[in-house]
A and B are shown apart, each in its own frame.
Chain A
Amino acid sequence: MGGSSPCASCKLLRRRCAKDCIFAPYFPSDDPHKFAIVHKVFGASNVSKMLQELPVHQRADAVSSLVYEANARVRDPVYGCVGAISFLQNQVSQLEMQLAVAQAEILCIQMQQEPNLPTHQIDQVDKSLLLSTNNFDDNNIPQYLSFASSSNVIQDPLKRESLWT
């Protein structure tokens, strides 16, 4: 890197920061903690290999996600990111359940407003029957895992505000 200061990774690894150092664009010298945590969890060698396998325009995002995962694993050495995934999956399930109940209620209301249908038949419509026939277009979430949920690493990985709880 000529006369300019070495990047955070070369500083930590105590080596000369080459002009084409693969880490330099993503680990500036003013944020040593960022590389330190990635190195601790993944190892500099593995990170270097991962970045080399990616096209240049995707490396910044890859580094961001690696930093996020490394932070999650340091905060929660048992579950890491998986704790957040489990927690969010539970939230999605609960919301979908509430949505199903609300949609069944709408159907009941609409059926009651149907003039041709006798009211005693409408009253006997079971909500659970409506739920079972309800069609959810977006219910394609794969069940990734069934670990116990851990909410202490939830944070918007790349763009949004932190949801740290």
Chain B
Amino acid sequence: MSNSTRCAACKSLRRRCSKDCVLAPYFPPTNPQRFACVHKIFGASNTTKMLEQLPLHLRAVAADCMSFEASSRVEDPVYGSVGIISQLQEQIIKAQSELVKTKGEIAFHNAQQQLQQQQMQQLQMIHTIAQEGEDQPSWLSSSQQDPFPNVNQQLLEDYNYSNTFCGFEF
């Protein structure tokens, strides 16, 4: 590479950019800031060593990741990209807690609905039995079988159904 087309790394290091410069493919001269961050945090020598240890097809991704880590560290000199990890972990805990709470509310509503339906069914059943009891005149009108001979029909209707059928097997 001639002087005018040196990569960002070689420009920054003020050296000749050779044809097989390890850093050239990943640190183009159009983005000097990218190499500046990586150089500040990892150092040119370490960066070169780390990239050289990798197969060619993985170097671009590795350079991108190192660039991201370096810029995170420049932005946050204390925690760097580790601060992002902590933040994400906290968000996961919060979201999990919210999800458990919301699912709990759904379960509660469903249970309530089921209970209400069961109660409705029971009331309907009792009402049906009561209606059938009104339609059968035989034992009600017969003084021999009527358990409540001195009680009129209206009172029977007003009476608690569970008490009315007490003692009858059904």
Q: Does A128 contact B (CB under 8 A)?
A: no
CB nearest neighbor in B for A42: B42
The reply to whether the CB of A117 lies closer than 8 angstroms to some CB of chain B is no
Binds B, one of A11-19, A24-32, A85-93: A85-93
Identify which of B46, B91, B110 contacts A141 (C-beta below 8 A).
Answer: B91
> What residues of B have a CB within 8 angstroms of the CB of A103 in the complex?
102
Interface flags for A75-116 (1: CB within 8 Å of B; 0: not) read: 001111111110011011001101100110110010001000
Shortest Cβ distance from A153 into chain B, in angstroms?
Answer: 9
Known: A43-B46, A80-B69. A69 touches B81 (CB 8 A): yes
A interface majority secondary structure: helix
| B interface secondary structure, majority | helix
A-B contact pairs, 30 of them (CB 8 A): A41-B42, A41-B50, A42-B41, A46-B43, A50-B73, A53-B77, A58-B78, A61-B78, A61-B79, A62-B77, A65-B80, A69-B81, A77-B54, A80-B66, A80-B69, A81-B69, A82-B65, A91-B88, A92-B95, A105-B106, A106-B106, A106-B109, A109-B109, A113-B109, A138-B95, A144-B68, A145-B68, A157-B79, A157-B82, A157-B85
